[in-house]
Amino acid sequence: MKKTIRVWDLPIRLFHWLLVLCIAGSLISVNLGGNAIEWHAYFGYSVLSLLIFRVIWGFVGSRHARFANFFPTRAAIFDYLQGKSLRVLGHNPVGALSVFALLLVLSVQVLTGLFVDDEIAFQGPLSKYVPNAAVSFLSQIHEGNQVVIYTLITIHIAAIWFYRKYKNEDLIKPMLSGDKEIDPSEEAKYMLSDLGQPSKDGGLQRTLALVLFSAIALAVAYFITK
């Protein structure tokens, strides 16, 4: 009988899937053009709120959500690539590198988007506070950074497929259920600290996340409409 361990708390799972929906909505709306650019902005503000939440949750969230638990050091990455490291329940070093890269490029995208002014259908809430040269420069970064986002998303999807096909590890199911199933015969391949400390995911944890995200969303809404 397999051992079931809670890895991803509900706040992290909701963050992940809401981020997927917002990114998809943002990419679709920006390519539709016209009045859809307003929806592109709304999706961008939503991504901003989600990213702020994720950064804070990376310090106060459950075990496997905390950055300190999966920060990708160079030694850890090399050990993992050489097959010298034990398995982990959460992000492995290479997966962690992907997570930080996505958080970085998405942060660049939403922050530069606040300064965009196409002089037709959209003006970012901060564009009026900086010179036109800065608006133009940040708008170019916002547009060019899309390529980096597409690339990282493609790599992310390819990694999910690779782990499923060649390592027989389903990365999507745990992000839906929150749990990872470990065969008792495989336990020796994992870190004992991982197996003995499942992520907390109770009512208190979820309430804290709800209050935190609600406060962030309200602050962002106030900020962009001020």
What is the tens place of the pLDDT at every residue in 187-198?
888 877 788 789
How many domains are there within the chain? 1
**Res 196: pLDDT:** 79
In this predicted structure, what is the pLDDT of residue 193? 77
Q: Which domain holds residue 178?
A: 3-106+171-225
Domain membership flag for residue 142: no
Is 215 a domain residue? yes
Q: Percent of the chain scored above 70 by pLDDT?
A: 100
Task: For 134-147, give the DSSP string.
Answer: HHHHHHHHHHHHHH
pLDDT of residue 30: 86
Taking the whole predicted model, whether its pTM rises above 0.75 is answered as yes
Q: Model confidence over 137-176: pLDDT tens digits?
A: 999 999 999 999 999 999 999 999 999 998 888 999 999 9
Please indicate, yes or no, if residue 146 is contained in any of the structural domains: no
CA–CA separation, 46 vs 67, rounded Å?
22
From the CB of residue 46, how many other CB atoms can be counted at a distance below 10 Å? 20
Q: What is the DSSP letter of 114?
A: T
What pLDDT score does 174 carry? 94
Query: Has residue 150 been placed in a domain?
Result: no
SS3 6: strand
Please tell me the distance from the alpha carbon of residue 90 to that of residue 84, in angstroms, as a whole number.
Answer: 17
Mean pLDDT, residues 59-86: 92
Residue 226's pLDDT band (boundaries 50, 70, 90)?
Answer: confident
* Nearest of 8, 42, 76 to residue 220 by alpha carbon: 42
**69 confidence band (pLDDT: 50, 70, 90):** very high
For the cut 80, the answer to whether the pLDDT of residue 119 exceeds it is no
